[in-house]
């Protein structure tokens, strides 16, 4: 489908109207403090546009997975506080989603004022895309804008259902994400490289097959590399492996050869005696993983192999989704960080899918060296797979 044919916030009359704006404020919070507010700051362009055009703004988001039950841990109160600081304006916080508090605050909103609904996933109807709940949510407003790219692959009430009942459009963040991903995937400057990491082959089968029709070079790392190593007849010790996906891994290798895609996999690994940062660890060649050790990261030879390909592709396009190792442990983040550093030093059009790859780039202070860091890993994977995003499909065409 043509995502760029969808109505944008500039195609819809929002002046003096109540606008339900679906954002993605699913930010990491530790002890009540937001540790990374990028998803909030990325939504400011759309919010400021609404303020400047005298809309009455009803913000809506989820946070975490409270599974339909109220929990202080997943309250959006810290988000309201941070937004208020960033916008230098008060944010009225509802204590519910479609109840008395939300309805009262929405009814009293004046032009340019902002309210935030409580975590929409406190209502179990949200993830079920319940029609009655969608109607109640829509009844708070006169216009619906979706700016939540990070959950655009989810068919929920606040991402899809409400669009049936209100004039709808996408916000600036959603438009930016879709435009960049569309160009990178469908008309990239070449050579076109994709790096895929993460734990499981099963999560990325569709993406891998789709990319084999598009890329010049495909680099595989992370947990799924061990399924491929096993499929090639190598001993992988106690490493993560999907035994039922070995045939698919072999098929992918054949397909890459047939299509002339250069498929690169790790040639050495950092292995550990247990899944822990404190476990004994060492670097071994791909053929030398001990029976009682598990793969935790790519080794220095793999970093060098992958880095050389990335450097040779300078001037082309690279899309990266998923880490090369167990990034949450300091001892096993080196492979991911090394590749981030190399990409930052090139003139590649670099698109970093959300999640751990984006976190590594940010942690290293390399964000401004990348062309684009996505706010949504899952949504980006779906686009890479060639799957339509239901939340964008639901929006009115121009």
Phi, psi of 201 (to 5 degrees): -65, -40
Q: Exactly one of 322, 353, 355, 377 is catalytic; name it.
A: 355
Q: Exactly one of 6, 17, 18, 39 is catalytic; name it.
A: 39
Query: Which class is 3-175 in CATH?
Result: alpha beta
Topology alike, domains 3-175 and 188-385: yes
- 238-264, pLDDT tens digit by residue? 999 999 999 999 999 999 999 999 999
Integer CA distances (angstroms), 197 to 47, 222, 225, in order: 34, 4, 8
As a whole number, mean pLDDT of residues 74-96 equals 97
Instruction: Assign 109 a pLDDT band (cuts: 50, 70, 90).
Output: very high
Given this model, what pLDDT does residue 168 score?
98
d(CA 362, CA 326): 17
d(CA 296, CA 153): 30
Domain ranges of the chain: 3-175, 188-385
Q: Which fold has domain 188-385?
A: Rossmann fold (3.40.50)
Instruction: Assign 199 a pLDDT band (cuts: 50, 70, 90).
Output: confident
Q: Exactly one of 150, 325, 377, 378 is catalytic; name it.
A: 378
**End-to-end Cα spacing for the chain:** 13
Within 21-148, residue ranges assigned H as helices are 38-41, 44-52, 77-87, 100-108, 124-127, 131-138
Given this model, what pLDDT does residue 142 score?
98
How many CA atoms lie within 13 Å of 163's alpha carbon, on the beta-carbon side?
Answer: 24
d(CA 192, CA 313): 8
Q: Exactly one of 200, 262, 362, 369 is catalytic; name it.
A: 200
Given this model, what pLDDT does residue 357 score?
80
Integer CA distances (angstroms), 257 to 217, 251, 268, 319, 323, in order: 11, 10, 22, 21, 25
Give the three-class secondary structure for 3.
Answer: helix
Mean pLDDT of the chain: 94
Contacts of 389 (CB under 8 A, 6+ apart): 3, 152, 153, 379, 382, 383
Is 355 marked active-site? Answer: yes
As a whole number, mean pLDDT of residues 67-93 equals 96
Given this model, what pLDDT does residue 354 score?
66
| Closest-CA residue to 236 (of 198, 188, 161, 291) | 291
Is 39 marked active-site? Answer: yes
Q: Are 137 and 161 in contact (CB under 8 A)?
A: yes
Q: Measured in whole angstroms, how far is the alpha carbon of residue 11 from the centre of its chain?
A: 26
Strand ranges in 173-226 using DSSP code E only, listed in sequence order: 192-196, 217-220
As a whole number, mean pLDDT of residues 164-180 equals 96
As a whole number, mean pLDDT of residues 175-197 equals 93
- 23-40, pLDDT tens digit by residue? 999 999 988 899 889 999
Integer CA distances (angstroms), 398 to 5, 66, 191, 206, in order: 6, 36, 34, 30
As a whole number, mean pLDDT of residues 383-388 equals 90
Is 337 marked active-site? Answer: no
Q: Which of 33-42, 49-58, 132-141, 290-299 has the lowest mean pLDDT?
A: 33-42
Instruction: Please say if the pLDDT value at position 333 is more than 70.
Output: yes
Is 222 marked active-site? Answer: no
d(CA 92, CA 95): 10
Residue carrying the six token digits 């899809």: 160
H/E stretch holding 245 reads: none
- 341-367, pLDDT tens digit by residue? 999 999 999 999 867 788 888 888 888
């Amino acid at each position: 489908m043509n995502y760029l044919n969808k109505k944008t916030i500039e195609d819809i009359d929002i002046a003096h109207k109540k606008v339900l704006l679906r954002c993605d404020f699913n930010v990491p919070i530790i002890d009540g403090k937001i540790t990374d507010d990028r998803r909030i700051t990325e939504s400011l362009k759309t919010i400021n546009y609404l303020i400047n055009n005298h809309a009455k703004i009803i913000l809506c988001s989820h946070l975490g997975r409270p599974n339909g039950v109220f929990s202080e841990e997943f309250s959006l109160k810290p988000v309201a506080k941070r937004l208020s600081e960033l916008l230098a304006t008060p944010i009225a916080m509802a204590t519910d989603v479609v109840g008395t508090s939300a309805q009262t605050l929405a009814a009293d909103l004046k032009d340019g004022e902002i309210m935030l609904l409580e975590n929409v996933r406190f209502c179990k109807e949200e993830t079920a895309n319940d029609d009655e709940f969608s109607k109640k949510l829509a009844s708070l407003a006169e216009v619906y804008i979706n700016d939540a790219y990070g959950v655009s692959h989810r068919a929920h009430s606040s991402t899809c259902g409400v669009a049936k009942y209100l004039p709808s459009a996408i916000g600036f963040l959603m438009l930016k994400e879709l435009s960049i991903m569309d160009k990178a995937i469908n008309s990239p400057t070449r050579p076109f490289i994709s790096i895929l990491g993460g734990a499981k082959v099963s999560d990325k089968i569709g993406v891998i097959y789709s990319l084999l029709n598009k890329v010049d070079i495909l680099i595989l790392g992370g947990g799924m590399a061990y399924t491929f190593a096993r499929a090639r007849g190598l001993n992988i010790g106690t490493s993560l492996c999907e035994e039922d996906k070995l045939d698919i891994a072999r098929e992918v290798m054949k397909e890459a050869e047939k299509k002339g895609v250069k498929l690169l996999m790790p040639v050495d690994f950092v292995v550990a005696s247990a899944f822990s940062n404190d476990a004994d660890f060492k670097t071994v060649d791909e053929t030398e993983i001990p029976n009682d050790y598990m793969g935790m990261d790519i080794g220095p030879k793999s970093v060098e192999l992958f880095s050389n390909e990335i450097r040779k592709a300078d001037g082309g396009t690279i899309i990266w989704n998923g880490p090369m190792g167990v990034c949450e442990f300091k001892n096993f983040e080196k492979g991911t960080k090394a590749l981030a550093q190399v990409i930052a030093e090139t003139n590649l059009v670099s698109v970093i899918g959300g999640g751990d790859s984006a976190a590594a780039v940010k942690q290293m202070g390399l964000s401004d060296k990348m062309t684009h860091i996505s706010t949504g890993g899952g949504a980006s994977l779906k686009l890479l797979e060639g799957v339509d995003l239901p939340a964008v499909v639901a929006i009115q065409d121009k």
